[in-house]
Chain A
């Protein structure tokens, strides 16, 4: 059961891979074929009428006839270079003649009838094995004479690549020049254009990265482009070079650059860069380090052994990354980059086949050119994506403003509703509380007054009941006031009322506040807490008046702290006769007293206070210990 469940999601995924990956692979195959065909078609045509391919080669002391194009062995010494000697016919009266060498590696020195007319070593760019720089040189007419003339070509080779000399063309300058121009355009001008383009994109991408540090993809691509530009304009690491060490360090640029492109691909398609991915930079760094330490030719050999394969691996990785992105996303960006990578990879394989002479062609290297083109395409694509993102942000911002306004309206409406509801609830709560408070005191007292007056009672009892009612009314009104959590303010009013109540009975009220600030502040204090506390104190005073025959009542207000925060203690002590706490005594109103005590206890419990009562012959003391924090709701005990 569970096995089926586990397999179920795998099947559509496999189907997805098949349905997307196979067409992609077929498309890439088509692109490979198109690239190969394109490379064949783009091969510049040379003026075959003036080709000179029969030469005799003197190399290492031996002379043998060879046919151009010709590969010669790799070597590391510039002394005694291979010397090609050939002959060509010249008829006086023709226009100016030139000698045209479409492809050679690494450098040539051409002499006509023993006079040197061309030395490519002076042209740093011409000496780069990764470029396909052509050379042309006008032959001074004074050098030529009717009939057979001799041409000698010294081929300077520096390893590890083999030397190569393509067919040499000698003929009227007008006939040779167009082929030279075409090659110059393709292999000299175009790379410069690409490099310039890259440098501009590098600046743009670097600025983007500087402004958006959390998107390293721009920075990586900018770094790759900067490396590419530097590499393109630096002289190659050849013996005549004046800064050969610096140049040999720059050999490392190609593998590092390709590794950067893989980083770019991984980041661009939203993967996490794996930690071991940094291994990809190791070959480039080794070449770099060796270039710093050792002079040529070691860096060049290492470059061939490490750098070139790294470029290949990077391209394959990049192809894999883009293929996966295509399968996963099916978007234009991944498809375009995927196709571009395939083209570059094809060109790279083409170059490798050429280097190792698996295919005999004219040793035209195209991977650098195609790679530059790819970088430019990627940079342009990124810029396009950035612009589109800006547009999206604009429209998103517009939508957002509208949505926020909408939400604001809704919120306002709901807030107003909520406020009205809360107000109504608060009002209802307040009414309930007020009703209960009035019911507890005033209501009962008024009813008692009605009953007393109906039974014809005279004076004193009715007066007492009415006074109690008025006192309670004042208490209820007072408790509604906001006292800011300071119980002392409520006690201040209570003191006045109590003093007024006690004066006719000739009882002295002593007021003792133990600490100058009174009681601790209670921000959570609510009217219902205050009213319970004051009613307890009222009850204590009333008991002292009615039952204890006291002469003095002492109210003590104190603040204690047992280490868990301060709390207040209010005690009401009288010097009366005391009473029996069990309530079964001989006092006629023992039941009433017991009820009063029960009432006081339940009121204290409602606001989280503790009531202690002690009574003996010397008097009664009611001790009310207030809580550190008053309870939120009086419903719990009420």
Chain B
């Protein structure tokens, strides 16, 4: 499986994810506080370079989804057809995370059938134990249906 190729701006996201926390970068300037994603060096609203990582509730709704079929990279082809979802966060609908809808934290990418997915469905974040068989890679935020 592909693991995130992390840059300086994105590193904190993955460090929090390793602890099972979903955090989004926010401007730390008093009076601004805009959330931004993906992470980047400065705030496009007030141009402050100070940022903090705000903890999210982990609740959201499915904004869209796809079901990829081969040809795909081998590890993904092995689980295809699987789903990829875009989730808009409950706290900030314009913060949208790409992820997978799964039946549990360590379930495979195809553990929720495509017919069960719909735009607008409420979802909750979970964190698997790690990417790949070794279970020692980065922990990805994954999503389960609030009402399975």
Whether chains A and B associate is no
